[in-house]
Amino acid sequence: MRIGNVPIRIDARVTVTDVARQAGVSQPTVSLVLSNNPKARVAKSTRARVLQVAKELGYRPNLLALGLVHQRSFALGLIVPGFANPVYANIVSGAERVAAETGYAVLLCETELVNAAHHLQALIDRQVDGVIIAGLAAATLPQEDLRRLNVVLINQPSETYSSVAGDSLAAGRIAAEHLLELGHEQIAFIGPSTSLPAFRLRERGFAQALQAAGIAPPSDYWQRADASVDGGRKALRALLTLGTPPTAVFCATDIIALGAHKAASKAGLKLGSELSLLGCDDIEMNTLVSPELTSISVPQRELGALAVRQLIQQLDTSTEVSTHILPVKLSKRGTTGRLRRR
Amino acid sequence: MRIGNVPIRIDARVTVTDVARQAGVSQPTVSLVLSNNPKARVAKSTRARVLQVAKELGYRPNLLALGLVHQRSFALGLIVPGFANPVYANIVSGAERVAAETGYAVLLCETELVNAAHHLQALIDRQVDGVIIAGLAAATLPQEDLRRLNVVLINQPSETYSSVAGDSLAAGRIAAEHLLELGHEQIAFIGPSTSLPAFRLRERGFAQALQAAGIAPPSDYWQRADASVDGGRKALRALLTLGTPPTAVFCATDIIALGAHKAASKAGLKLGSELSLLGCDDIEMNTLVSPELTSISVPQRELGALAVRQLIQQLDTSTEVSTHILPVKLSKRGTTGRLRRR
DNA sequence: TTGTAGGCGTTATCAC
DNA sequence: GTGATAACGCCTACAA
């Protein structure tokens, strides 16, 4: 890292020393007053004067210096694959809110283009107090770095690290039950080719529930797609070309489901009657398409928020590794319906 | 801010002092070697040994300490209204990429719920080197804080601060010209009620181009809406109830346009033939609805990226305030078409 | 009750 | 060439 040619300091800041001088006391005294340390026994008049002067001068503590002393930066790293996906946008949003309320800064890292391990190292160099990781398998990161950090994983149950997740297994099950209740028997699945734990669990929950109902989809019905709109589109097209196409499809993510939605509409299928389509995540876009996409709601903002809370608690109390599972629920909309023959 | 009860230090980090001890040299010598200062005259053998030891011990500089010394944190603040809106998600994404490549951290601030002035103060306390502000009128922030910072505004031309913006005036003009070319004369406008400069300019560009073509829409045709899908929906419904509804509508943002899209579809209007609808921003959702939404492309990622570049250049060279305007262009899709009588 | 001394991890300025 | 010494802004002993 190179330092620029010209100092960027625009305006000298007020420091404790300035306050001390102005108030006619020693610098540590000011520190004592300002840190309202419980065992700080300062004369009332002194305290009042210091506070008064600090206010007048507009004193603000330098968090860099504070961090150095306390070995604590009050900053959190947040690593996500990308914001293009509203799922992560929501998670970030929830996390940022809680962090801001608690006085923590959020250092944002997008791993779409920049190497995740690189990002992690940069966060460590900045002495972040902890890291939250979403949409990225923790196993793919250098463990020796990860282990010396406070970590909370999102949507990725783990034995080594704390985690906060939506109930992915239940999500799959609920999806299956919904389609079964509607009378479907020819049920297909489209999942992303990325092997994130959450997606695997959704898939497993779905498969198990089908099995429990005595339904065994042919292998053609089990599609793997690129985790994008286009991936979903292609996968659904493939399903439609089968000898006996499915009457219902569950997509492991809404992004894929929206691609499938597009493909189905283009093929002239009436969603909700001729073909039932069900997504998972429940992103806001779902209500923009027509018919609106039925989905399994995963509380993304809450996941982000809870992750920060959990992380801070871990920092404050050295709590042990913990796992939180948040409930998910069906959001019934227009793309799923009772089976009707074409 | 309160410090937790328990120190969070998980593992003591390697410092220059450790390296010095291990290499058998003084601590400043290590500094000299590691900072590869041009005028650092260190014996080759010493340098080699120090570098060797540093590598073995896995030494990494503490950016907090560096920041303290240099009065420079290598961190940037990024203030946006919210990520739910993909426009800002894209801006953040572009900014983060460049920042990461350049060794800067991005401190993310969402002003949707937390007070923007509060956020700004927090950033200052963290000694950020500069701030990028998007989707928020700079005038609404405390000027005394802003003025002592390096600032780059996005989509908000200003005389006091640097800015990077899409050509909003052109966006409006291009929109008008497109609709005029298609033969429309009953042309309406829906703009957000928030008075962000970019939106005002889009509106003005649009109005001016209409005027130049001798078209003067009645005041009913000039709607103001909440900057949301719902706002767009309501506004379009209002337009449809008019005695003579418009044949074409330009919405100042895609979010609003998507609401209008929904309302039009629900009213049974065939978009592209019975009603032409045109948005602005060109967010990815536009291709998910059917017919796909015609829009004016604004290069959001580039705006974010350029803002960071501009800011860093300002830091390094104390460049003067500058303004960059990036071109926009029409992305023709399905919702606009030649005028046909209903 | 308050001031003095030392240190957090780093760099910069000097003597040596 | 190298090593003290001071400084960045702050806090925590400890001594006065």
- The predicted-structure confidence for A178-221, as pLDDT tens digits, reads as follows 999 999 999 999 999 988 999 999 999 999 999 999 999 999 99
Straight-line distance from CA B37 to C1' C14, in Å?
16
Q: Is the CB of B26 under 7 A from strand C?
A: no
Question: pLDDT value at position A339?
Answer: 83
Greater confidence (A48 vs B181) lies with B181
Q: Do B2-60 and B73-166+300-328 fold alike per CATH?
A: no
pLDDT the model gives residue B251 = 98
pLDDT band for position B271 (50/70/90)? very high
Give residue B5's pLDDT.
35
Window from A72-76, B38-42, B189-193, B208-212 with minimum mean pLDDT: B38-42
- pLDDT over threshold 70, residue A32: yes
Please tell me the distance from the alpha carbon of residue B79 to that of residue B107, in angstroms, as a whole number: 9
Q: How confident is the model at residue A341 (pLDDT cuts 50, 70, 90)?
A: low
Report pLDDT for B3.
37
A60:B89 CB<8 A: no
pTM of model > 0.85: yes
Query: CA-to-C1' distance for B69 and D2, Å?
Result: 22
pLDDT, mean over chain A: 91
Helix (H, G, I), strand (E, B) or coil at A75: strand
Closest of B235, B177, B167, B247 to residue B206, by C-alpha:
B177
Q: What is the pLDDT of residue A113?
A: 66
pLDDT surpasses 80 at B311: yes
User: Token pair for residue A260?
Assistant: 């499938």
**Nearest nucleotide to B66 by CA–C1' distance?**
C10
pLDDT mean over A50-69: 90
Interval B133-149: pLDDT, tens: 999 999 999 998 998 89
Q: Is the CB of B289 inside 8 Å of chain A's CB atoms?
A: yes
Residues B220-241 have a mean pLDDT of: 97
- Cβ-based neighbours of B79, under 8 Å, separated by 6 or more: B109, B111, B116, B119, B120, B123, B131, B132, B133, B134, B136
Whether residue B134 lies within 8 A of chain A, CB to CB, comes out as no
Residues 224-283 of B with CB under 8 A from A: 229, 258, 261-262, 265
Domain boundaries along the sequence of chain B:
2-60, 73-166+300-328, 168-298
Looking at residue B195, its pLDDT comes to 84
Q: For position A12, what pLDDT does the model report?
A: 67
Segment B317-337 shows an average pLDDT of: 93
- Comparing A47-51, B8-12, B14-18, B124-128, the range with the smallest average pLDDT is B8-12
Is any atom of nucleic acid chain D found less than 7 Å from the CB of residue B71? Answer: yes
Residue range B88-93: mean pLDDT, rounded: 96
**Rounded distance between C-alpha atoms, residue A19 and residue A270, angstroms:** 72
Q: What is the pLDDT of residue A318?
A: 76
For C11, nearest residue by CA–C1' is: B69
Q: From the Cβ of A62, is strand D under 7 Å away?
A: yes
Say how many C-beta atoms besides its own lie within 10 A of residue B326's C-beta. Answer: 15
How many angstroms separate the CA atoms of A215 and A183, rounded?
12
Best B110, B152, B287, B321 residue to mutate vs chain A (most A CBs within 10 Å): B110
Amino acid residing at B72: R
Name which of A190, A144, A138, A147 is nearest A165 in CA terms: A138
Tally Cβ neighbours within 10 Å of residue A212. 12
Is the confidence at residue A9, as pLDDT, over 50?
A: no
Indicate yes or no: strand C within 7 A of the C-beta of B16.
Answer: yes
CATH code reported for the domain at A168-298? 3.40.50.2300
Q: CA-to-CA distance for A130 and A78, rounded, in angstroms?
A: 9
Decide: CB of B46 under 7 A of nucleic strand D: yes
Taking the CA of residue B41 and the C1' sugar atom of nucleotide C16, their distance in angstroms comes to: 15
SS3 string, B130-144, reads EEEEECCCHHHCCHH
Which strand D bases fall within 7 angstroms of a protein CB?
Answer: 1-13
More confident residue, A4 or B304: B304
Q: Does the pLDDT of residue B2 top 50, yes or no?
A: no
Which nucleotides of chain C does any protein CB come within 7 A of?
Answer: 1-13
Q: Give CA–CA dist A88/A84, Å, rounded.
A: 8
Assess contact for B263 and B233: CB atoms under 8 A: yes
Residues B233-244 have pLDDT tens digits of 999 999 999 999
The DSSP secondary structure of B257-275, one letter per residue, reads HHHHHHHHHHTT--BTTTB
Q: Which of residues 30-49 of B touch strand C (CB under 7 A)?
A: 31-32, 34-35, 37
Q: Each residue of A327-337: pLDDT tens digit? A: 999 999 999 99
Q: Tokens 């330009």 appear where?
A: B250
Nearest-by-Cβ selection for A93 from B3, B110, B265: B110
Say if residues B327 and B167 touch (Cβ distance below 8 Å).
yes
Apex A47 CA angle, A41 and A50, nearest 5: 135
Asked if pLDDT for residue B82 goes beyond 80, the answer is yes
pLDDT digits (tens, 9 = 90+) for B164-217: 999 999 999 999 999 999 999 999 999 999 889 999 999 999 999 999 999 999
**Helices A63-70 & B63-70, crossing angle to 10 degrees?**
140
Domain A2-60 class in CATH:
mainly alpha
pLDDT band at B8 (very low <50, low <70, confident <90, very high): very low
Comparing A156-165, B6-15, B248-257, the range with the smallest average pLDDT is B6-15
Report chain B's mean pLDDT, rounded to a whole number: 91
CB of residue A208 closer than 7 A to nucleic acid strand D?
no
- Return the pLDDT at B253: 98
- Section B64-87 average pLDDT: 92
Look up the CATH number of domain B73-166+300-328.
3.40.50.2300
Q: How far apart are CA A245 and CA A240, in angstroms?
A: 5
Closest residue by Cα to residue A235 from A210, A209, A261:
A261
Exposed, middle or buried: residue B115 (CB in 10 Å: 0-12, 13-18, 19+)? exposed
Cβ-count burial A27-55 (b if 16+ within 10 Å, e if not): eebbbbbbeeeeeeebeeebbebbbebbe
**Does A6 lie at the interface with B, CB-CB under 8 angstroms?**
yes
Residue (of A233, A237, A227, A162) closest to A199 by Cα position: A227
How far: A7 CA to D2 C1' (Å)? 28
Reported as a single tens digit per residue, the pLDDT across A274-332 is: 999 999 999 999 999 999 999 999 999 999 999 999 999 999 887 778 999 999 999 99
Measured CA to CA, the distance from residue B257 to residue B292 in angstroms comes to 11
Confidence (pLDDT) at B136: 93
Contacts of B26 (CB under 8 A, 6+ apart): B20
Sort out which chain A residues have CB atoms less than 8 A from B101's CB and list them: 114
Q: Does the pLDDT at position A39 exceed 70?
A: no
* The pLDDT value given to residue A131: 97
Residue B241 CB: number of other CB atoms within 10 A? 10
Would you say residue A96 has pLDDT above 60?
yes
